[in-house]
Amino acid sequence: MFLFSDIQQYHLDLTNRKTSCVEAVEHYLDVIAKNQQLNAFVEVYATEALERAKALDKNRSQQLPTGKLHGVVIALKDVICYKDHKVTAASKILKDFTSLFNASAVQYLLDEEAIIIGSCNCDEFAMGSSNENSSYGSVKNPIDNLKVPGGSSGGSAVAVSAGMCMVSLGSDTGGSVRQPADFCGIVGFKPTYGRISRYGLIAYASSFDQIGIFGNNIADVCDVLNVISRTDEYDSTMIQHDTEIKFQEKQEKKFRIGYLKDVMEHPILDQEIKNAIFKKLDSLKEDGHEITPIDFDLIDYVVPAYYVLTAAEASSNLSRFDGIRFGHQSASPVSNLNDFYIKNRSEGFGKEVKRRIMLGNFVLSSGYYDAYYTKAQQVRKMLTEKTEKIFSSCDFILIPVSPTTAFNLNEKKKDPVSMYLADIFTVFANLTGIPSIAIPLFQHTNGLPFGLQLLAAKEHDEALLQFSNQISNHQKK
């Protein structure tokens, strides 16, 4: 039987002929077929993945050089373009739309011989925290099918958590990789803004969006990151970085770790999660790390600022889906061009997306612009300055990923504000562009997993991943 622990071991097993790429793909196709009720995949590329696996096995048997992600089986969130494959952002407005090109991240995966097994369900246009806003229906949490998997990259998280692929890609605008990773008990990493090209990622809020990686362990996340974070002339917001992350399995350094007092004392935070994080901080202190409480009275402004700014950017980004340049065209009779746009967009977009487009237009409208958009920009600036200050005396921030474990399906669906508050601890990293990771470590008495969130200063992705691994190993001891 095919067993996967990590990419390095898989590559060893391939070299020693203990397994093959075909065996790996067959295994994952089987797991996907047996778990259809989770609704994690929008499309599975079975025939094509098997053919690619066969070709890779053949190349290896002929001793041809192998790529860095040779035979690694990967799933993509349905907002990432893969040439000649459908990409719909889980929206009716893009139903049956086919990508004309590869996202740069996908191109880099293919160049290194990864096998793309399918596209994953998500919230429509990546807007949501529960994967319930999808034209394909809700995704279910594999650990408890009555719970949400988190969102918006719920399908990608479930695909890794339920063993349907080795790693997957999602996008993280306000927590959409870290929060579902936390709810499903796996690793979810959002790099520094600008580390991975956004070319070919369907835009939600361009100054926040970043492709993120789901994996079973930190080493696999690093392997994928090194491949997909190559610089790219098609994304001018990319930061220049040419150093590959050199991952050392064993590192035992001592660091200055800050935790945000106002986060840990926030009434929204589940008591058990709070206790577990404090216990972890205590044991890190015993291990010789320096632990510092940090005042963070801006916490209650992060969600409003995030939703004002992202809605504003979304209202602009989504204007291209008008049924003429892109998207669904209404079949009902229209009297003029404006009427045509209205019908196309009213029929094509789901409720939450419409809410955000309207909110975005409202906060950008003259008369309200200064009260909302300018104010939110000012909060963003204050947060950025505060973050720089924190990292002048700390190496990392450690906080929970989410205030609760996975909640019930339908629990928050009708109450957008309570849904937005689920992002209270994750949006900070996107507002400030810093790297952040969710590491699964604990189990709640309700049986669900949860972990912790580590954040580092901009461009300190390598140190963050290295320390995350140290923390995971520490937990195993």
In the complex, the residues that contact ligand GLN under the rule CB under 6 A are 126-129, 152, 171-176, 204, 310, 423
Amino acid identity, position 357 = I
User: At a CB cut-off of 8 Å and minimum separation 6, what does 210 contact?
Assistant: 171, 172, 173, 190, 191, 192, 193, 194, 195, 196, 198, 430
| Residues present in the chain in total | 477
DSSP state of 214: E
Please, which residue, 10 or 136, has the CB nearer to ligand GLN? 136
Residue of 104, 152, 156, 229 marked active site: 152
CB of 310 to ligand GLN, least distance (A): 6
Please, which residue, 176 or 432, has the CB nearer to ligand GLN? 176
Q: Which residues of 321-447 form beta strands (DSSP E)?
A: 396-400, 436-443
CB of 151 to ligand GLN, least distance (A): 6
Question: Can you read off the two tokens belonging to residue 329?
Answer: 């065209």
Q: How many helices (H) and strands (E) does the chain have?
A: 17, 11
DSSP state of 36: G
3-state secondary structure of 465: helix
* Range 12-19, long-range pairs (CB < 8 A, 24+ positions): 14/60, 14/70, 14/71
> Phi then psi for 146, rounded to 5 degrees?
-90, -5
Instruction: Find, among 401, 400, 383, the residue nearest to 301 by Cα.
Output: 383
CA distances from 45 to 63, 104, 425 (A): 27, 20, 35
Residue of 77, 147, 280, 412 marked active site: 77
Question: Are the CB atoms for 97 and 36 separated by under 8 Å?
Answer: no
Give the whole-angstrom CA distance, residue 305 versus residue 393: 26
CB of 95 to ligand GLN, least distance (A): 20
CA dihedral 244, 177, 83, 96 (to 10 degrees): 180
Amino acid identity, position 7 = I
Alpha helices in 74-206 (DSSP H): 104-111, 154-161, 178-184
CB atoms within 10 A of CB 420: 18
Please, which residue, 170 or 258, has the CB nearer to ligand GLN? 170
> Phi then psi for 41, rounded to 5 degrees?
-105, 140
Please, which residue, 156 or 173, has the CB nearer to ligand GLN? 173
Please, which residue, 223 or 423, has the CB nearer to ligand GLN? 423
Instruction: Note if 77 is an active site residue.
Output: yes
Give the whole-angstrom CA distance, residue 253 versus residue 458: 20
CB of 434 to ligand GLN, least distance (A): 15
Give the whole-angstrom CA distance, residue 303 versus residue 129: 13
Please, which residue, 49 or 314, has the CB nearer to ligand GLN? 314
CB atoms within 10 A of CB 144: 17
Please, which residue, 126 or 225, has the CB nearer to ligand GLN? 126
Instruction: Note if 176 is an active site residue.
Output: yes
Please, which residue, 228 or 311, has the CB nearer to ligand GLN? 311
Please, which residue, 155 or 174, has the CB nearer to ligand GLN? 174
Residue of 138, 171, 176, 436 marked active site: 176
Beta bridge partners of 408: 147
Instruction: Note if 346 is an active site residue.
Output: no
> Phi then psi for 461, rounded to 5 degrees?
-60, -40
Q: Which residues are catalytic?
A: 77, 152, 176
